[in-house]
Amino acid sequence: MTTRAYNFSPGPAALPEPVLERAKAEFMDYRGQGLSVMEMSHRSSAFIDIAARAEADLRALLGVDDDYHVLFLQGGASMQFAMVPINLAGQGATADYVHTGSWGSKAIEEARRVTHVRIAASSADGFTHIPHPSTWRPSPDARYCHITSNETIGGVQFHEFPRTDAPLVADMSSDFVSRPIDVARFGLIYAGAQKNVGPAGLCVVIVRRDLCGRTPPGTPRILDYAVHAEHESMFNTPPTYTWYLAGLVFAWLRQMGGVTAMAATNRRKASKLYAAIDASNFYSSPVARHDRSLMNVPFTLADPALDTAFLAGADDRRLLNLKGHRSVGGMRASLYNAVSEQAVDALIDYMQVFEKEQA
């Protein structure tokens, strides 16, 4: 009997149960080695095999070809806010940013310390939509154009990716491997693991080879993509256990039919929840319909004074982590790959019951 709750956390977030079961089975003794994966040397053949399989499965899932390095780094997505401008732009250069929410703000703030940032487009009048690419004003000399494909707090998501002259760089932390993407459209993609990939402590970076190796002399080696690529993400001790779990998640995704199958399920889950919100006068979504995120669904109650009661009732039903981000308030349901359709049904059922109770 499972006692697990329905977890709508924005991250660290729900992981697939088969992955947790597998990790549990292998926890004390990894496949007859007599030790746990977290006790192994990262140089051991068993771990090198784990690492290589994780990369191969990820490449297969997203169709990443040999023009790109796949790196497994530490420092979270926030480290990439700095590494991207350090490696791709630098002092005296210009980088374009499309500003669609709080995570974009953080990326911009960090990049400004390193390079000249130009805002090519912004929805800062509330962050409830994605500015249409026809309104963007790219810089002719931009070294890259940075977007946040899914804003985890605001719940706005790119459903199509623009064509840009400068290499497109995407923070995909909260919608990575949730749908197919055409990697060739991007110069660089990065994603913190703790939503769709695994536990916290790892950031996956997919970077076009020709964009690496351009850092100025004096750049610390640990901040240089070329150095990490040359050392196959083992320039220093990598987060081995998180990498292993990410590998289990990628293998699970392949078994489930890959990102195309995930995208269909994710669309169904989010559509149900948005339909329930739109059908009610009690709940509402602040986000423009076309740009609503399939991963993070923020919603508000007609009377914010009921928020506490709503959350307490949700907790009673083991529907956890529905509180919106402190900067925006209200509620937020995160519906990553590992959140089941059953969990979404249970949430909708509870929302309808709670609404009736207030009538």
Query: Cβ(51)–Cβ(239) under 8 Å?
Result: no
Task: Kindly compute the dihedral angle of the four CA atoms of residues 219, 225, 230, 231, in this order, to the nearest 10 degrees.
Answer: 90
What's the min distance (Å) between Cβ of 223 and ligand PMP?
A: 15
C-alpha separations of 45 from 6, 33, 51, 89, 252 in Å:
37, 11, 10, 37, 22
Residue 345 is among the residues annotated as catalytic for this protein: no
What's the min distance (Å) between Cβ of 28 and ligand PMP?
A: 29
294 membership: H or E segment, kind and range: none
What's the min distance (Å) between Cβ of 99 and ligand PMP?
A: 13
Is the bond preceding 12 in cis, omega lying within 30 degrees of 0? yes
Q: Is 202 left (phi over 0), alpha (psi -120 to 50) or beta?
A: beta
Residue 252 is among the residues annotated as catalytic for this protein: no
List of residues 6+ apart from 167 with CB closer than 8 A:
88, 143, 144, 145, 186, 187, 188, 208, 211
- For residue 170, what are its two tokens? 């995407």
Q: Which of 57, 96, 171, 175 is catalytic?
A: 171
What's the min distance (Å) between Cβ of 204 and ligand PMP?
A: 11
Q: Which of 57, 96, 195, 252 is catalytic?
A: 195
* Closest to ligand PMP by CB, 171 or 355: 171
Query: Cβ(283)–Cβ(276) under 8 Å?
Result: yes
With CB atoms as reference, the residue minimizing the distance to ligand PMP is 76
* Closest to ligand PMP by CB, 84 or 248: 84
* Closest to ligand PMP by CB, 170 or 229: 170
* Closest to ligand PMP by CB, 171 or 224: 171
- For ligand PMP, the binding residues (CB under 6 A) are 11, 76-78, 103, 148, 152, 171, 173-174, 192
Residue of 292, 77, 49 lying closest to 176 (CA atoms):
77
What's the min distance (Å) between Cβ of 174 and ligand PMP?
A: 5
Residue 65 is among the residues annotated as catalytic for this protein: no
Query: Cβ(181)–Cβ(166) under 8 Å?
Result: no
Active site residues: 103, 171, 195
